Amino acid sequence: MTGAELTIETLLRRGVDTCFTNPGTSEMHFVAALDRTPAMRSVLALFEGVATGAADGYGRIAGRPAATLLHLGPGMANGLANLHNARRARTPVVNLVGEHALTHRDLDPPLATDIESLARPMSGWVGTVTAGDRLAATVDAAVDAAQGPPGTVATVIVPADLSWSDVPAGPTGGRARADGAATAAMPRLPERSPLGEVVAALRSGEPTAVVVGGRVCSGTALRRAAQVAASAGARLLAETFPGRLERGAGIPAPNRLAYLAELAQVQLDGLRHLVLVDAPLPVSFFAYPGMPGVLVPDGCAVHVLAGPADDVDGALDELARELGVAAAAPVPAPAAGRPDRPTGALTAESLAAAIGAVLPDGAIVSDESNTCGLHIPGTTAGCPPHDWLTLTGGAIGQGLPVATGAAIAAPDRPVLCLEADGSAMYTIQSLWTQAREGLNVTTVVLDNHAYGILAFELSRVGAGTAGPIAASMLELDRPDLDFVALATGMGVPANRASSADELVLLLEKAMAEPGPSLIHAPVPRTM
């Protein structure tokens, strides 16, 4: 058995049956081995950032890793931004990166790179296979690391000669024989608090908030956290950008901490206790002149019930027992309801109403709408249950790839991608993959002809008012982007909405038909 065949066999044995690929010469034996192992679904992406972002979207929905196949150091580098988002989402991902043959690396060929150094900042685990008899164990260890908890990006670097050579199967699950080690650390948290301390905080009668993140933003953990907060009269908040947030009618609705530090400070003002459950410490996205980086108010004690590596379900159940909260205790949740179908001009507000009026039951929303989408969470709160996938790490170019991977993970669910115009151009190649795979993704491009958030941030950071040169660096015109032409050129049917009425009709049509589609929605700037 060749090393490439053994790699695929090991992944399949561990439940990793989907691989997002952008291969090169050093990965050709892996590509050839796919013909002999059809159980591995291979999905071609035209850019590595699409492959890594799709693996992120797949992992968020499937709850288990997909693999990526990347070409040497430059291919890894092209995929790093969306691996950053995946790491911040704690998504399980297994990267397979081809390397020059062991006998060839020392010759310094043109594509030679220090792949491990590139991989470490975005990976929770990195390993380079150094001998054929360690291949299976290294892939096994990578899957173990990726699955966590916490989920993470694991990167396996495989020299080409180990892919083409016959290798022994070797022992499986043998971490001691694996060539790899933990690398990038997750965001720092205070030490986990004793349970009695958390119970005392919730029983104190002082202003308290429970902040959920990660695995506590969906499923039974979200409901249990809401029950605990309600029983103590505490506010229920969520991290600003959760990897996957379950929401809709009948589902507890934590208030997400605002992106703008000033608004987050208002949300936290007056608190005496902050209980974190798989959530990071609230900090400002950026440093601003005269503003603190940590947003916890003075005099507020921070208590960590459970962190990324802990058993969050067990911790919440134990806390609930101590507080006497029954498993069937009611929790406040949004009632079913939708906005009226909007008419008239297409604006950020009417676009949000259109989304809320037609969002289908069980939808997955990949949200990279940025400034134009500020009203959409409000108009969709009472829609049928759905999942919301956010821009966890702030590296734009995530929305289209994440929607692609989510659609492969859940082919029976409609996927709606809300994509800002500037962000769309980072990974527009995703549309080609969606067309090739026949994925059920409806993309709405919210086009305000600008990097709207940057125009707003220019003044917030104290850089002054934009003059003509600065303003031109933030505007996406001269020429305008024709998203209908871009989409149809990659095989995705597309239309332009000229009014709110037309947007509603286009959305209904797109989400009722199989396969991908795109709607170009020009809207005025909101910032």
Residue 228, pLDDT score = 97
Residue 174, pLDDT score = 41
Would you say how long the chain is, in residues?
Answer: 527
Range scoring the smallest mean pLDDT among 13-17, 100-104, 174-178, 405-409: 174-178
- Reading the block at residue 347, the tokens are 């604006």
CA-CA distance, 521 to 512, in Å (whole number)?
19
Task: For residue 216, give the amino acid letter.
Answer: V
- Reading the block at residue 381, the tokens are 């709160």
The yes-or-no verdict on residue 58 having pLDDT over 50 is yes
Residue 156, pLDDT score = 97
**Residue 455 belongs to a domain with what CATH number?**
3.40.50.970
Q: Report the candidate in 93, 86, 174 with the shortest Cα–Cα distance to residue 126.
A: 93
**163 or 357: which leads in pLDDT:** 357
Mean pLDDT over 384-395 rounds to: 97
Regarding whether 314 and 267 lie in a shared domain, the answer is yes
Mean pLDDT over 250-262 rounds to: 94
Tell how strand 386-389 and strand 364-368 pair up: parallel
Regarding whether 363 and 295 lie in a shared domain, the answer is no
Q: How many other C-beta atoms can be found within 10 angstroms of the C-beta atom of residue 513?
A: 12
Say which residues have a Cβ less than 8 Å from residue 103's Cβ, sequence separation at least 6.
161
Residue 488, pLDDT score = 98
The yes-or-no verdict on residue 460 having pLDDT over 70 is no
**290 or 132: which leads in pLDDT:** 132
The yes-or-no verdict on residue 359 having pLDDT over 70 is yes
The yes-or-no verdict on residue 223 having pLDDT over 60 is yes
In a domain, 126, yes or no: yes
Say which residues have a Cβ less than 8 Å from residue 214's Cβ, sequence separation at least 6.
90, 150, 239, 242, 243, 278, 279, 308, 312
Of 122, 154, 182, the domain-final residue: 182
Range scoring the smallest mean pLDDT among 125-129, 259-263, 282-286, 477-481: 477-481
Instruction: Report residue 472's pLDDT band, with 50, 70 and 90 as the boundaries.
Output: confident
Residue 124, pLDDT score = 95
Mean pLDDT over 40-49 rounds to: 98
The yes-or-no verdict on residue 282 having pLDDT over 90 is yes
Residue 191, pLDDT score = 80
Regarding whether 162 and 56 lie in a shared domain, the answer is yes
Per the CB < 8 A criterion, the answer to whether 407 and 439 are in contact is yes
Regarding whether 130 and 106 lie in a shared domain, the answer is yes
Regarding whether 276 and 227 lie in a shared domain, the answer is yes
How many folded domains does the chain comprise? 3
CA-CA distance, 281 to 58, in Å (whole number)?
27
In a domain, 514, yes or no: yes
Range scoring the smallest mean pLDDT among 39-48, 164-173, 189-198: 164-173
In a domain, 334, yes or no: no
CA-CA distance, 183 to 181, in Å (whole number)?
6
The yes-or-no verdict on residue 122 having pLDDT over 70 is yes
In a domain, 163, yes or no: yes
Regarding whether 230 and 376 lie in a shared domain, the answer is no
Q: What is the C-alpha end-to-end distance of the chain, expressed in Å?
A: 59
Phi-psi region of 109 (alpha: psi -120 to 50; beta: other; left: phi over 0): beta
Regarding whether 448 and 486 lie in a shared domain, the answer is yes
Regarding whether 314 and 438 lie in a shared domain, the answer is no
Tell how strand 235-238 and strand 208-212 pair up: parallel
DSSP per-residue string spanning 70-116? EEHHHHHHHTHHHHHHHHHHT--EEEEEEE--TTTGGG--TT---HH
Say which residues have a Cβ less than 8 Å from residue 191's Cβ, sequence separation at least 6.
304
In a domain, 527, yes or no: no
Regarding whether 406 and 305 lie in a shared domain, the answer is no
CB-side neighbour CA atoms (13 Å) of 110? 1
Q: What tens digit of pLDDT does each residue of 161-185 get?
A: 888 888 887 654 444 356 778 776 6
The yes-or-no verdict on residue 511 having pLDDT over 50 is yes
Of 288, 323, 358, the domain-final residue: 323
The yes-or-no verdict on residue 287 having pLDDT over 70 is yes
Regarding whether 171 and 143 lie in a shared domain, the answer is yes
DSSP per-residue string spanning 123-156? -SEEEE--SGGGHHHHHHHHHHHHHSSSP-EEEE
DSSP 384: S
Residue 167, pLDDT score = 87
Residue 166, pLDDT score = 86
Of 153, 182, 211, the domain-final residue: 182
Instruction: Report residue 39's pLDDT band, with 50, 70 and 90 as the boundaries.
Output: very high
Residue 180, pLDDT score = 79
**Residue 290 belongs to a domain with what CATH number?**
3.40.50.1220
Mean pLDDT over 222-239 rounds to: 97
Residue-range definition of the domain harbouring residue 451? 348-522
Regarding whether 104 and 145 lie in a shared domain, the answer is yes
Regarding whether 155 and 14 lie in a shared domain, the answer is yes
